[in-house]
Structure 1
Amino acid sequence: MQKKPGPIGVFDSGYGGLTVLKEIVKTLPAYDYIYLGDNGRAPYGGRSYETVYHYTLECVQHLFSMGCHLVVLACNTASAKALRTIQQHDLPKIDPERRVLGIIRPTTEIVGDYSRSRNVGIFGTAGTVNSQSYPIEIEKFFPDVTVYQQACPMWVPLVENAEYESEGADFFIRKYIRQLMVQSEEIDTIVLGCTHYPLLADKIRHYLPGDVTLLSQGTIAAASLADYLQRHPEIREKCSTGGTRTFYTTDDTATFDRQAGIFFEQPVESRHLVL
């Protein structure tokens, strides 16, 4: 595999990871980035562990073949179901000098700092919630925090069908907020545990109690990546700094570009990738 400095790879099953890339670019604008959205096989949220692992590994290997030495899984489902196996089982065989990072751990490392009541809520896909990744990881850093989770299966379709500002969105936002908050009236901090959900953040805040803190992952992931590169100069030196952004999708490029611009808040021109 290529050894010269290369772009930082950012992977997601679809569009949501663009909300993470947007914040990473704001924080670390000098680096080159390749974004890969596996839209042709999205969504990942309801798929089995084995399927998510297989799809994620395939996309990571493609990013490696494009010269990436560092790949960020900007997808909660992939981070929950595939990251650990890739890190522990596959990377030592593929190239032990390459790195794959997720976005669940950076969030769980700081979430307890925001909660006074020690009651934290998670909104996520069914796959992320069923994986128990958030409770397991939060327990490592904040054993005194109780975690309550709520799967929100309608939120990603609302976002991807551009219905996130509709009255239908309000119905499902209120529904899942009620289902989470009834688990504990003491919840004072909630994590948006899916990278699509920031597009719903204004409506979610509207229906939440005013004293509840809502955390999006983009800024957290960006700060964590900046800290990681600072602490690991051997990886930082392998990341090229031309300020370029390249986008790939496994689905129709015109559709991707139209939707991606909403998530990335800038025009996007993608290339089609056949897996």
Structure 2
Amino acid sequence: MSTEYHPIGVFDSGYGGLTVLKEIVKELPQYDYMYLGDNARTPYGNRSYETVYQYTLECVKHLFSMGCRLVILACNTASAKALRSIQQNDLPNINPDYRVLGVIRPSAEVIGNYSKTNHLGILATKGTVNSRSYILEIEKFFPEAHVSQLACPMWVPLVENGEYANEGTDFFVKKYVDQAMNQDKEVDAILLACTHYPLLLDKIKKYTPEGVKVITQGDIVAKSLKGYLERHPEMEAQCSKGGKLEFYTTDSTEDFSRQAAIFFGRPLEAKKVEF
């Protein structure tokens, strides 16, 4: 592989990160991208910090070995449980010039701008909720905000099993939306803090009270990455620009290619990696 080929790496525990990559490619189509889904070990949501950190680090290292120098953790659980350790403890030893970014901070930086009441709702996996990462990050940028969180454990399995458009899914969508609103009736902005949830967006909006904004992360992360590259020309110069897209999975390529097309919005072919 050419030493000049340095795609931007995008990692997720499965398919969800493709909803983020889709928006990144739309915002920044000139760069090369390499996506890696750890489908063989998904889901990460209920795993321990140690396990999520270990799995995420393995995948980040693999993306580095394939030419990436900048990797986006397009996974809220990995961002919550592994990002800080990788940034502080591992990157200095791997290569101090490489970078790993997450999806929590970019979302936390802007979420308060969507609210008039200063009451924010976070819908996420159990792992992300238990980490309290959003509460801690939002407090840095919007110290007066009231943040309520709710884990939605059924949503990822429903999406992963292709049930996101079925009528039966409405029960679980309405259940969690109602719970979120009952936690704090002043909430007027809800962040979908899991990259699977955009596939349920229409149903979520259907059961969300009028006047409550529902925010997805893809566009936020894409604009944040654009800003990051503008502020760090030394990193931007290292990112190769050929508009190339590569997809990798740790599990069945046939299954990945079929499912991933739903998340990414167009057909794609994946290759398998083992490490």
Q: Please list, as runs of the form range in 1=range in 2, the aligned pairs for 1:46-65 lying within 5 A after superposition.
A: 46-65=46-65
In the TM superposition, what is the alpha-carbon distance from 1:4 to its structure 2 partner? 3.9
Q: Distance in 2 between matches of 1:44 and 1:27?
A: 28
Q: Distance in 1 between matches of 2:49 and 2:265?
A: 32
Q: Distance in 2 between matches of 1:231 and 1:247?
A: 28
The residue number in structure 2 matching 1:209 is 209
SS at match of 1:60: helix
SS at match of 1:72: strand
In the TM superposition, what is the alpha-carbon distance from 1:242 to its structure 2 partner? 0.9
The residue number in structure 2 matching 1:103 is 103
SS at match of 1:29: coil
In the TM superposition, what is the alpha-carbon distance from 1:218 to its structure 2 partner? 0.2
In the TM superposition, what is the alpha-carbon distance from 1:178 to its structure 2 partner? 1.4
SS at match of 1:39: coil
Contact 1:5 1:237 in 2 (8 A): no
Q: Distance in 2 between matches of 1:201 and 1:52?
A: 27
Q: Distance in 2 between matches of 1:170 and 1:247?
A: 31
SS at match of 1:167: coil
Q: Distance in 1 between matches of 2:159 and 2:143?
A: 34
SS at match of 2:40: helix
Q: Does 2:127 match 1:137?
A: no
The residue number in structure 1 matching 2:69 is 69
The residue number in structure 1 matching 2:24 is 24
Q: Normalising by the residue count of structure 2, what TM-score does the alignment of the two structures yield? A: 0.98
In the TM superposition, what is the alpha-carbon distance from 1:168 to its structure 2 partner? 1.9
Q: Distance in 1 between matches of 2:239 and 2:44?
A: 28
The residue number in structure 1 matching 2:252 is 252
SS at match of 1:41: coil
Q: Distance in 1 between matches of 2:161 and 2:238?
A: 38
SS at match of 1:92: helix
The residue number in structure 2 matching 1:34 is 34
1:76 alignment partner AA: N
CA deviation vs aligned residue, 1:149-208 (integer Å, no higher than 9, x gap)? 000000000001010111221000011111111111100000000000000000000000
1:148 alignment partner AA: S
CA deviation vs aligned residue, 1:82-126 (integer Å, no higher than 9, x gap)? 000000000001000000000010000001111111100000000
Q: Distance in 2 between matches of 1:256 and 1:123?
A: 25
Q: Distance in 2 between matches of 1:238 and 1:210?
A: 45
Q: Distance in 2 between matches of 1:122 and 1:262?
A: 24
The residue number in structure 2 matching 1:166 is 166
Q: Distance in 1 between matches of 2:65 and 2:272?
A: 16
Contact 1:122 1:192 in 2 (8 A): yes
SS at match of 2:149: strand
1:255 alignment partner AA: D
The residue number in structure 1 matching 2:231 is 231
Choose 147-156 or 164-173, whichever is displaced more: 164-173
Q: Normalising by the residue count of structure 1, what TM-score does the alignment of the two structures yield? A: 0.98
2:6 alignment partner AA: G
The residue number in structure 2 matching 1:154 is 154
**Structure 1 stretches lacking a partner, 5+ long:** none
The residue number in structure 2 matching 1:84 is 84
In the TM superposition, what is the alpha-carbon distance from 1:3 to its structure 2 partner? 6.2
1:259 alignment partner AA: Q
Contact 1:12 1:73 in 2 (8 A): yes
- The count of aligned residue pairs is 274
SS at match of 1:109: helix
Q: Distance in 2 between matches of 1:198 and 1:216?
A: 6
In the TM superposition, what is the alpha-carbon distance from 1:210 to its structure 2 partner? 1.4
Q: Distance in 1 between matches of 2:3 and 2:116?
A: 47
Contact 1:156 1:197 in 2 (8 A): yes
SS at match of 2:123: strand
The residue number in structure 1 matching 2:242 is 242
In the TM superposition, what is the alpha-carbon distance from 1:5 to its structure 2 partner? 4.9
The two structures, once aligned, show a CA RMSD in angstroms of 0.9
Contact 1:124 1:194 in 2 (8 A): yes
